[in-house]
């Protein structure tokens, strides 16, 4: 999903700096749900399928179909691939891996969209060789979006308590540490945890 033989030579020319790669991603994709309100772009009906692209090569196909300039070149917002958080994460992970940097897409829940709630989200996690640790990067939020939503955290090093990977969220809800009803874009995505918590409690009393 995050590898590319088709565009390998093009990707090799990209920088190896995570910050610069994240900025490049900002110039390639646009989130379908804020394209109009935040960037003044209406996604044409004939381009609606872009949001369903899952693979890295497919995303690059779509990007170059809109503008075949080098990936690092500036594009207008209407030339950005329409997508969701998955697109930003896959694009960055694909670039990192093409440069020989270990990276992976992480799915989970972030609490920086609406206070006190954890909403579905995906971002990138890469291994920083210099610091000897895995670091979470949120490539979805460019400067324009951060200002509009007043996000002040460092998107290049997202704190582990602000984004919970899916497994961690499940464990903490099941243990009763967190409220399952506070999870999900429409809330309650982790409702099964409440049932498991109740079941586990009853079994422990037997």
Q: Note whether residue 84 is domain-resident.
A: yes
pLDDT confidence of residue 190: 60
Could you say which DSSP state residue 134 is in?
Answer: E
Domain assignment present for residue 178? The answer is: no
Residue 20 in any domain: the answer is: yes
Q: How many domains does the chain have?
A: 1
Whether 184 is covered by a domain: the verdict is no
Burial 14-46 (b: 16+ CB within 10 A, else e): beeebeebbebbbbbbbbbeebeebbebebeee
pTM of the predicted model, to two decimals? 0.89
The residue ranges of the chain whose pLDDT is under 50 are: 194-206
Question: Which pLDDT belongs to residue 144?
Answer: 84
What pLDDT was estimated at residue 184?
A: 85
Of 145, 119, 149, the closest CA to residue 31 belongs to 145
Q: What angle do CA 120, 123, 129 make, to 5 degrees?
A: 150
Q: In Å, how far are 53, 102, 198 from 90, measured between CA atoms?
A: 10, 13, 37
Contact at 8 Å (CB) between 72 and 66? no
Q: Classify residue 68: in a domain, yes or no.
A: yes
Look up tokens 């772009």; give the residue.
Answer: 41
Classify residue 179: in a domain, yes or no: no
Report whether 90 contacts 56 (CB < 8 A). Answer: yes
Q: Which residues of 167-193 are buried (b: 16+ CB within 10 A; e: fewer)?
A: eebbebbbeeebbbebbbeeeebbeeb
Is 88 in contact with 56 (CB distance < 8 Å)? no
pLDDT for res 195: 44
Q: What is the pLDDT of residue 200?
A: 42
**25: containing domain:** 8-163
For position 4, what pLDDT does the model report?
95
Question: HSE-up of 136 (CA within 13 Å, CB side)?
Answer: 20
Query: Does residue 73 lie within any of the structural domains?
Result: yes
**DSSP helix/strand/coil, 151:** coil
State residue 153's pLDDT score.
74
In-domain check, residue 174: no
Query: Cα(104)–Cα(122) distance, rounded to whole angstroms?
Result: 10
Asked if 43 contacts 32 with a C-beta cutoff of 8 angstroms, the reply is yes
């Amino acid at each position: 999903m995050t590898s590319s033989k088709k565009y390998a030579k093009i990707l090799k020319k990209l920088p190896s700096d995570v910050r610069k790669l994240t900025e490049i991603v900002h110039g390639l994709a646009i989130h379908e749900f804020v394209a109009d309100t935040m960037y003044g772009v209406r996604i044409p009906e004939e381009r609606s399928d872009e949001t369903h692209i899952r693979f890295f090569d497919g995303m690059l196909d779509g990007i170059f179909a809109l503008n075949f300039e080098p990936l690092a070149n500036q594009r207008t917002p209407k030339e950005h691939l329409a997508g969701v958080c998955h697109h930003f994460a896959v694009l960055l992970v694909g670039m990192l891996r093409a440069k020989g940097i270990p990276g992976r897409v992480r799915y989970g829940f972030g609490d920086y969209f609406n206070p006190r709630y954890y909403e579905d989200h995906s971002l990138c996690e890469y291994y920083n060789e210099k610091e000897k640790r895995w670091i979470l990067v949120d490539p979805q939020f460019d400067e324009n979006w951060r200002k509009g939503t007043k996000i002040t955290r460092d998107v290049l090093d997202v704190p582990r308590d602000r984004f919970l990977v899916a497994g961690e969220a499940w464990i903490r809800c099941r243990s009763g540490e967190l409220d399952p009803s506070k999870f999900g874009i429409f809330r309650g995505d982790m409702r099964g945890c409440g049932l498991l918590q109740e079941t586990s409690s009853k079994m422990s009393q037997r």
